[in-house]
Amino acid sequence: MIAIIADIHGNYPALKAVLEDIQSSSINKIYSLGDVAGYYSMINECIELLRNKGIPNVMGNHDYYLTNSESCHRSNAANICLNFQRKIITLENLNWLKQSLPVIEMGNMRLVHGGWRDYREEYIYNVEEAYFTNLEGKYFFSGHTHVQFLKKFVTQTYCNPGSIGQPRDGNNKAAYALIDNDNGKIILKRIFYPIDEIALHMKASGFDAYFYENLYNGSRIGGTIDRVE
């Protein structure tokens, strides 16, 4: 059994709760689909937990912005959060994040952050069989949309495990996925975590409620709910 996690975004209480839940299953390996960075205030705690557990990370767009001193052209709120993280991240954790892989391929599984046309920035909101037909592999996993989704085709399967740190599908529970590497069965998981803990940490770090109140209703910053079809 393999666990797939994604879009942690500096939300340590959510990551900690998910990894504790994963421990209750017979898991051989855990993979992160990227965006450990961005949005929330506990970037060092998140990276150190991933490092201590030996969890490989795919380079997400926020990870790339942080490690390359670039801005997100879509969101000023994201840039405010990234600038905060640049000030507090340790050199050791920054170097670990820089080593994130663009893609992970193992057997018939393919793991990226965004999509297969653009590993970091592509959003997959419309999941169609034709998109995957010419790609090598059977099981495809990506994050980036923060919307948990599973679609099985005739010979291939696509899964977004959803976001740990900032779900955007109207469900405020942290999301992840399991895949049985013996039979290919994929299980979507959602668990409660103490949202108040990250909200209080954000407040103590100087952020107003606009940056974290969305966590209570499972939306983007600003309140938008997203869908995948």
Domain-embedded: residue 227? no
Is the pLDDT at 54 greater than 90? The verdict is yes
Average pLDDT over residues 88-103: 98
Percentage of the residues of the chain whose pLDDT score is greater than 90: 93
Task: Tell me: pLDDT of 74 over 90.
Answer: no
pLDDT of the residue at 126: 96
**DSSP labels, the chain:** -EEEE---TT-HHHHHHHHHHHTTS--SEEEE-S--SSSSS-HHHHHHHHHHTT--BB--HHHHHHHTT---TT-HHHHHHHHHHHHH--HHHHHHHHT-BS-EEETTEEE-SS-SSSTTT----S--HHHHHTSS-SEEE--SS---EEEE-SS-EEEE---SS---SS--SEEEEEE-TTT--EEEEEE---HHHHHHHHHHTT--GGGTGGGGTT--TTS------
222 in a domain, yes or no? no
Calculate mean pLDDT across residues 52-71.
96
Note whether residue 182 is domain-resident: yes
pLDDT surpasses 90 at 188: yes
The pLDDT of residue 75 is 87
The better pLDDT of the pair 37, 76 is held by: 37
Task: Please report whether residue 226 resides in a domain.
Answer: no
CATH of residue 119's domain is 3.60.21.10
Answer whether residue 71 shows pLDDT above 90: no
24 pLDDT more than 90:
no
Q: Tell whether 224 is covered by a domain.
A: no
Whether 47 is in a domain gets the answer: yes
Mean pLDDT of 128-148: 97
Mean pLDDT of the chain: 96
**Domains identified in the chain, total number:** 1
pLDDT value, residue 72:
85
pLDDT at 16 over 90: yes
User: Is 221 part of a structural domain of the chain?
Assistant: no
| Domain of 48, in residue numbers | 2-216
Model-wide pTM > 0.95 = yes
Give mean pLDDT, residues 85-101: 98
